[in-house]
Amino acid sequence: MAIRYPNGKLWKAKQNVANPVPVEIQYSNRGMTLEDDLNETNLYYRENGIAVIHKKPTPIQIVSVDYPKRSAAVIKEAYFKQASTTDYNGVYKGKYIDFEAKETKNSSFPLKNIHDHQIEHMKAVLEQNGICFLIIRFTKLNQIYFLEAEKLMHFWERQKNGGRKSISHQEIVECGHHIPLGYCPRVDYISIIDKLYF
Amino acid sequence: MAIRYPNGKLWKAKQNVANPVPVEIQYSNRGMTLEDDLNETNLYYRENGIAVIHKKPTPIQIVSVDYPKRSAAVIKEAYFKQASTTDYNGVYKGKYIDFEAKETKNSSFPLKNIHDHQIEHMKAVLEQNGICFLIIRFTKLNQIYFLEAEKLMHFWERQKNGGRKSISHQEIVECGHHIPLGYCPRVDYISIIDKLYF
């Protein structure tokens, strides 16, 4: 098992002098996707009674299913469907929590990573006073930000009105909230929710 | 080709006129499953800005996927997984809403319709002060009830302590809340939530 420092950096007993890993890759590619990190974070929240938040299953359009005798049904033909909501939701202190998580290799966040349906869903959640946001990881910088859905809407509108098709890193630094990488939990977004909403 | 629900039950497009279904079943089977009715209800709630509640996609274990050139990815082998949470969740007036929906042809509600994982999930939601419940349809009587998760836990514990493996219709009438069938929305469970929690 890989052992890591609280900041997520891999701990190594010895440097491999014969094949030194380039410093940039060591920092940027921790071998875990944002989804992995969030699944572990959510598991930590659930196991410690902090919050109940799950990733929703990927929506699938099933076309054909076989029912072999005395065996489990086998799906023989199916297709991925576009999600009509965000990927994560759940409950924290009675409040509804809803978010989408995206990582980008770019130096800005491309708005095409979010679908129209998801924007409509987020607006509807905000109208119901749900807590709704985006978690963005800039993989090259290995930085993670929490961006409230209200602020995402501002950049979405700017794009609709002919403005830029992405949110710059600088804008996210200014409008969003940096989530420091931890060990347990890895991506402690609840600490941001505590500051902003409670 | 036979069309089946994920649970393997055969779907029928039309009543067979040569073999008419007895009247009793005709009333109870409106040609809509509880799931259909709840999907329409949730659509009504969303379109009218009342609540944002969705059914979660069925969880699928994907084993093999084909990527034909210039076409969408095709899932070639996959299996249904047991859900680790309830099927429906969302937000109403900022509060987290979470429920499972089940129909039974029996005159009582068999507790085997609910899995251990779902019970654990419901307990965790209650600890986070979420609004959590069960919607039960007795198909023969065509009656629908709202049963708070706290009350379900009572019957679950009774079973664990060697008691009956079901909840009788009479117990549900006494402990639960009858949801009258409507047209729009069909199964107005939010009206019960309003009475109980707001």
Q: Provide the residue ranges of all domains of chain B, joining segments of one domain with +.
A: 23-56+83-197
Put simply, the answer to whether A67 touches B4 (Cβ < 8 Å) is yes
Q: What is the mean pLDDT of chain A?
A: 89
Q: What is residue A2's predicted lDDT score, i.e. its pLDDT?
A: 61
Contact list, A97 vs chain B (CB under 8 Å): 96
Q: What is residue B65's predicted lDDT score, i.e. its pLDDT?
A: 95
The full length of chain A comes to: 198
CB-closest option in B75, B90, B124 to A75? B75
Distance CA B56, CA B62 (A): 17
- Beta bridge partners, A52, equal A91
Q: Answer for the pair B119, B177: CB distance below 8 angstroms, yes or no.
A: no
Q: What is the pLDDT of residues B38-58, one digit of tens each?
A: 999 999 999 999 999 999 999
Contacts (Cβ under 8 Å, ≥6 apart) of A149: A122, A123, A125, A126, A132, A133, A134
Distance CA A108, CA A98 (A): 23
One-letter identity of residue B138: F
Put simply, the answer to whether A57 touches B54 (Cβ < 8 Å) is no
pLDDT at position A9 over 90: no
Return the closest-CA partner of residue A36 out of A185, A190, A191: A185
Q: Answer for the pair B97, B63: CB distance below 8 angstroms, yes or no.
A: no
At A70, is the pLDDT very low, low, confident or very high (cuts 50, 70, 90)?
Answer: confident
For tokens 């040609």, the residue is B31
Q: What is residue B142's predicted lDDT score, i.e. its pLDDT?
A: 93
pLDDT at position A23 over 60: no
State the average pLDDT over residues A53-61: 95
Strands (E), chain A: 52-55, 60-66, 74-80, 88-92, 95-104, 108-110, 131-138, 143-148, 166-168, 177-178
Contact list, B76 vs chain A (CB under 8 Å): 76-77
Q: Answer for the pair B97, B119: CB distance below 8 angstroms, yes or no.
A: no
pLDDT at position B72 over 50: yes
State the average pLDDT over residues A43-67: 96
Put simply, the answer to whether A52 touches B121 (Cβ < 8 Å) is yes
Helices (H), strands (E): how many in chain A? 6, 10
Residue A22 preceded by cis peptide, ω within 30? no
| Statement: B23-56+83-197 belongs to CATH 3.40.1350.10 | yes
Distance from CA of A97 to the nearest CA of B (A): 8
In the DSSP assignment, the letter for residue B167 is E
Tell me the CA end-to-end span of chain A in Å, nearest whole number: 37
Distance CA B73, CA B139 (A): 39
Q: What is the mean pLDDT of chain B?
A: 89
pLDDT at position A64 over 70: yes
Return the closest-CA partner of residue A49 out of B89, B86, B123, B96: B123
pLDDT at position B117 over 90: yes
Contact list, A94 vs chain B (CB under 8 Å): 95-96, 128-130
Q: What is residue B70's predicted lDDT score, i.e. its pLDDT?
A: 84
The full length of chain B comes to: 198
Instruction: Give the pairing type, strands B88-92 and A88-92.
Output: unpaired
State the average pLDDT over residues B102-117: 96
| Statement: A23-197 belongs to CATH 3.40.1350.10 | yes
CB atoms within 10 A of CB B7: 7
CB-closest option in B77, B78, B127 to A49? B127
State the average pLDDT over residues B161-177: 97
Return the closest-CA partner of residue A191 out of A87, A86, A51, A56: A51
State the average pLDDT over residues A82-97: 96
Cα angle A15, A16, A20 (rounded to 5 degrees) comes to 100
Q: What is the pLDDT of residues B21-39, one digit of tens each?
A: 333 333 344 568 999 999 9
Residue of chain A whose Cα is closest to the Cα of B91: A96
Higher pLDDT, A22 or B198: B198
Q: What is residue A3's predicted lDDT score, i.e. its pLDDT?
A: 64
**Disruptive mutation site among A75, A117, A118 for chain B (greatest number of B CBs within 10 Å):** A75
At A72, is the pLDDT very low, low, confident or very high (cuts 50, 70, 90)?
Answer: confident
Put simply, the answer to whether A75 touches B72 (Cβ < 8 Å) is no
Q: What is the pLDDT of residues B75-104, one digit of tens each?
A: 999 999 988 899 999 999 999 999 999 999
- Beta bridge partners, A97, equal A90, A131
Q: Which residue numbers of B have CB closer than 8 Å to A's CBs?
A: 1, 4, 6, 8, 46, 49, 51-52, 54, 56-60, 72-80, 84-85, 89-98, 121, 124-125, 127-130
SS3 assignment, position A130: coil
